[in-house]
Amino acid sequence: MSNTSFKNRDIISIKDLSNEEINTLFSYAKKMIPYAKGEKHLKTLEGRILSTLFFEPSTRTRLSFESAMNRLGGRVIGFADAGGTSIKKGESLTDTIRMADAYSDAIVIRHHQEGSARLAAEFATHPVINAGDGAGQHPTQCLLDLFTIVTEKKTIHGKHVVLLGDLKYGRTVHSLAYALARFKAQLTLVSPETLRMPKEVIEECREQNVEPVSTTSLEKAIKDADVLYVTRIQRERFPDESEYKRVAGTYKIDLELLKQAKEDLIIMHPLPRVTEIDPAVDKTHHALYFKQAFNGIPVRMALLSLILGGRKP
């Protein structure tokens, strides 16, 4: 496969990329690490402009896309709150997209509606990257999650990954469960009964010949886990606040629980965390979530560089 296959591509779902393409991307991302840290400098995307359109809150995704573009010598325009745009005057999403398309070379979009990024891609002539569409997909988070597992564990194949928390509304776990199945991980899904993984995602795992085990018991699942992927209960997506209150705080990762874990267990979290990981865990060698968040930069640098057709690092 040639690297040119990434050029001008939309990234709406992790399904848009083959395993081979993901591996190619990861070898680029690995090379990007010293540039991502600012130890070396690149001007690969000098003169190029990225739009970041964030209709929903974001810290890591927006800042790491912006940092990645800047580290590549490119520039960024956009907004972190649609309240300051003509959307407030009643402008449609598609007209907003047309404008960003006219003003930049690629668009990163986060929007509360499922399918919004796909719609944006239909209207934009330039590549569109989905940075989260409601409870739908978050493909670049999935890429940095996979990159983190591969970097720490050498391979995904055969590793026991536990996905924990809000598997119903958490978009990061939807992309990730499917991708992990495609890379042949062993999956355990731990959630409250009401926040189970959607049937379609389980079906997609089965199509990859991976049968996820579903349980509500974290104690059972943690014992032979290689990776524990924790998620926040997605309060903003509950139709009813009392339903949120019923499940909030169901799981908490603390030092006591970790006594049952394997010595080399890694704990990941897309962040932000609320109460699901005790800060005392941060100091243990299990805590990988801040490194995982950093990995967003080299992975997004590699992706932007390949999509916008920059030279190799």
Contact residues: ligand NCD, CB under 6 A: 60-61, 132, 138, 141, 171-172, 232, 270-271
Quote the least distance from Cβ 115 to ligand NCD, whole Å: 16
**Closer to ligand NCD by Cβ: residue 232 or 286:** 232
**Residue with Cβ nearer ligand NCD (42 or 281):** 281
Q: What's the length of the chain?
A: 313
| Residue listed under structure tokens 């964030």 | 54
60 is catalytic: yes
Mapped onto helix, strand or coil, the DSSP state of residue 28 is helix
Point out the catalytic residue in the list 48, 62, 126, 138. Answer: 138
Nearer to ligand NCD, 172 or 186 (CB): 172
In angstroms, give the least distance from the CB of 95 to ligand NCD.
25
Q: Choose, from 88, 89, 154, 199, the residue flagged as catalytic.
A: 89
89 is an active site residue? yes
**Cα dihedral 212→217→220→221 (10° resolution):** 40
Extract the runs of DSSP E, i.e. beta strands, from 146-219. Answer: 160-164, 186-190, 213-215
- Out of 62, 110, 171, 300, pick the active-site residue: 110
Count of beta carbons in the 10 Å neighbourhood of residue 89: 6
| Identity of residue 116 | S
Q: Which of 52, 61, 96, 148 is an active site residue?
A: 61
Q: Which is nearer to ligand NCD, 103 or 290 (CB)?
A: 290
Least distance to ligand NCD from the beta carbon of 4, Å?
Answer: 29
Long-range own/partner contacts, residues 66-71 (CB < 8 A, 24 or more apart): 67/36, 67/297, 68/36, 68/296, 68/297, 68/298, 68/300, 68/301, 68/304, 69/45, 69/304, 71/35, 71/36, 71/38, 71/42, 71/297, 71/301
**Is residue 306 within 8 Å of residue 3, measured between CB atoms?**
yes
DSSP 168: T
What value, to the nearest 5°, has the Cα angle with vertex 160 and ends 203 and 281?
A: 120
**Residue nearer to ligand NCD on the CB measure, 173 or 261:** 173
Least distance CB 193 / ligand NCD (angstroms): 20
The smaller minimum CB distance to ligand NCD, of residues 126 and 138, is found at 138
Residue 158: how many other CB atoms lie within 10 Å:
11
- Closest distance of CB 273 from ligand NCD, Å: 8
| Minimum distance from residue 138 beta carbon to ligand NCD (Å) | 5
Torsion 81-50-69-3 (CA) sign? positive
DSSP H or E segment with residue 108: strand 106-111
Four-point Cα dihedral 55, 304, 272, 135, nearest 10: 50
Please list the active-site residues. Answer: 60-61, 89, 110, 138
